[in-house]
Amino acid sequence: MTSPGVVIVGAGQSAAVAAHTLREQGYRGCITMLGRERHRPYERPPLSKAVLTDIEEPRLEVLTEDAWVRSDIELLSNSEAVALDLRRRHVCLADGRVLGYEKCLIATGGEAHTLPFVPTAHPRVHHIRTLDDARRLRASLQLRPEVAILGGGFLGLEVAHSALSAGASVTVFERAASLLDRFLPCEASAWLEARMRDAGAKLMLGASLSDVRASPRGRMHLITGAGALEVDDLIVAVGLSPNDSLAREAGLEVAVGGGILVDASCRTSDEHVFACGDCTSQQRPGQTVPTRLESWQNANEQARTAAAAMLSAPLPVPAVPWFWTDQGQHNIQVLGLPAPDLEYVRRGDLASDKVMWIGHRSSVPLHGVAINAGSDLRAIRPLFERGQPLQWEDFPLDTTNLRAWVKQMQAHASATV
């Protein structure tokens, strides 16, 4: 058994950021990282975009070579934690090794949802969660196949654009009647649908599959409510399941909908165990129940928070949730969290493909969506951080200078404190 130190279960982006932050804040003990893959920690957002489309694969490593060496991490690749003993403070590995820890950080991320009627082991069925997954799909796309994508979420639509750019024929199946209706205002959803169709995707909205079979010709035979369809490749992008089984089996508290419950310092129900990233569920301001945020930003922010908490250092100021996605040539950025009772005000012209919506409740901004207007959304961010009512009458007007308006609203908010 190794000498106690910090054991990080998981070797993704959140794990790497946490380890690097520990070193930056002066931790000199042993840091052991357990990774099921053979790769060093890498970023996942490019898997559905640049990894599928670029001639030269982009650099994905979370830490530079110099930062990796300075962080002095013992990475145990191709290893899996199978049990967590909270009383003894042990992590048990599949190969029989036992690692002792002073503090344990669970950063196990999530697994792609599977569907019971889809033959996941078939070579023409794809889930995009790992670098090896993306490389396998890239090889298939080079043949310009007919592709079906199950799921019209952010990931499915990103993959659809990548497949189209590779010359594939693409059909997207989405159970909802509109795209991303839980995350975007109605106008933005309709804009996205139109742009997807313009790009050449066939959208099957309000549709779902009931069965998938391998045809004698090696293709995939899909059974839908509207009939049958044969394709060369099937891509399943129907969401993510948090990898919380290790915590659950150890007796740590897990949210009703999944995800390891953590407090504001990313501490679990055991004082020596922390968790960060896609495997967690956390109570956030304005939310009635703990929620999971699957984003690049959240992975980084929670990692830094967990590292600071493990060292009893001051915690970073919580950031307003932020998310971005590239949909073909268009960039969409989201600030804050959506809610069904928000009132939206729009700035910009949909026809120009540069537009922004702000959703507010009682005039307090809570959700922002920007299409090709990320800099404008960043300008408004300080108003989200204040969380105070604003006057929205001048916001949509073309004659309103946005940055001057933001300064005016900041001054007004300060005067009313």
The answer as to whether 322 is a domain residue is no
**Predicted pLDDT at 1:** 45
Per-residue pLDDT tens digits for 140-193: 999 999 999 999 999 999 999 999 999 999 999 999 999 999 999 999 999 999
Q: Could you give the number of structural domains in the chain?
A: 3
**Predicted pLDDT at 189:** 97
The pair of structure tokens assigned to 115 is 């569907």
Same domain, 354 and 296: no
Q: Stretch 210-239: mean pLDDT, rounded?
A: 89
Same domain, 255 and 305: yes
Same domain, 222 and 200: yes
The CATH number of residue 342's host domain is: 3.30.390.30
Q: Is the pLDDT reported for residue 2 higher than 60? A: no
The answer as to whether 347 is a domain residue is yes
**Predicted pLDDT at 287:** 75
Q: Is the pLDDT reported for residue 214 higher than 90? A: no
Boundary (domain end) residue, out of 282, 310, 338: 310
pLDDT-based confidence at 313, cuts 50/70/90?
Answer: very high
**Predicted pLDDT at 27:** 97
The answer as to whether 168 is a domain residue is yes
Same domain, 123 and 97: no
Higher-pLDDT residue of 414 and 80 is: 80
**Dist. CA 51–CA 162, nearest whole Å:** 9
Same domain, 251 and 338: no
**Dist. CA 301–CA 306, nearest whole Å:** 9
The pair of structure tokens assigned to 218 is 């090696």
Per-residue pLDDT tens digits for 358-378: 999 999 999 999 999 999 999
The answer as to whether 319 is a domain residue is no
Same domain, 258 and 221: no
Concatenated DSSP letters of 16-70: HHHHHHHHHTT--S-EEEE-SSSSPPB-SGGGGTHHHH-SSPPP-BSS-HHHHHH
The answer as to whether 38 is a domain residue is yes
Q: Is the pLDDT reported for residue 49 higher than 60? A: yes
Same domain, 130 and 274: no
Same domain, 106 and 119: no
Segments forming the whole domain that contains residue 367: 329-415
By C-alpha distance, which of 347, 364, 365 is closest to 356? 347
Boundary (domain end) residue, out of 180, 211, 236: 236
406, 377 in Cβ contact below 8 A? no
Boundary (domain end) residue, out of 236, 261, 284: 236
Name the percent of the chain lying above pLDDT 90. Answer: 88
Q: What is the mean pLDDT of the chain?
A: 94
Per-residue pLDDT tens digits for 60-75: 999 999 999 999 999 9
The answer as to whether 351 is a domain residue is yes
pLDDT-based confidence at 3, cuts 50/70/90?
Answer: low
pTM: 0.94
Per-residue pLDDT tens digits for 226-264: 788 999 999 999 999 999 999 999 999 999 989 999 999
**Predicted pLDDT at 364:** 95
The CATH number of residue 215's host domain is: 3.50.50.60
Name the percent of the chain lying above pLDDT 70. Answer: 99
**Predicted pLDDT at 183:** 93
Same domain, 119 and 231: yes
Same domain, 136 and 154: yes
